Amino acid sequence: MLSDLSLTAAVLAAGAILIGSTLQRLSGTGVGLVVTPVLSLILGPVAGVLMTNATTTVSGFTIMLSVRNRIQWRKAAVIIATALPGAVVGALLVLMIPAAWLQIIIGSLVLLALILTVSTPRLPRAADRTTLPLAGLVGGVLNTAAGVAAPAMVIAARLTRWDQRAFGATLQPIFMFMGLFSVITKSVMGAGVVDLPPWWVLPVVVALVLAGVGIGTALETKVPPLRARTLALIIAGAGGVAAVVKGIMTLV
């Protein structure tokens, strides 16, 4: 339980949220990839993903305000609409999958997201009208079950030839609603309710996200997006490997 964390674990969790929010502001992604494996290691896969979902909701909303002029709202609406049924499926998976396997799945999805981000070959062009709804559905499942919707989003962007700058901005409301859907569906369906943190954690998370976004805004002209993304990938890779190892060791 979050209230029983050691000081070291609490500092690591806070640091992951702060760094993830900073990198999200600088490069458009970071919270899910960085925060999910770290919090799942510290809090366990169910509570860790739930906290990541809450963090993503706050960070997505905050960053959305500063990049709203670049957001392609029509595309965002299509993805968000199909993310809701995906969140319901994801919550069912959380109820069904043992914690150790969920830990392995989380780490594996983070590593898959990294591979897709850096080495996805040029894919054939696909129509928005079929690709985006499917991406929302799959992303909703992945985000709710494992806290990482990046694989679905990256593939959709490559298939539809989505401009990177507009894509990064449009991800913010998508991540916000996916996070919100995940928290609501898991709470209503009882998937992780026993792992809910104490009430005071929410304002702490909000403060950390706001601080991270503020730091990212201040560094925006000094740190290239590519460097920020590289750092996010390194941290996420280490966390993903650690999550897989922990899950396997739990099974053994």
- Across the chain, mean pLDDT equals 87
Q: Which amino acid is at 7?
A: L
The H-or-E segment that residue 131 falls in is helix 128-146
Q: What is the pLDDT of residues 19-50, one digit of tens each?
A: 988 988 887 776 888 888 888 888 888 888 99
Q: What is the pLDDT of residues 211-243, one digit of tens each?
A: 998 998 898 888 887 787 778 778 888 888 988
Q: What is the pLDDT of residue 131?
A: 94
Supply φ then ψ for residue 126, to 5 degrees.
-130, 155
Please tell me the pTM assigned to this model.
0.87
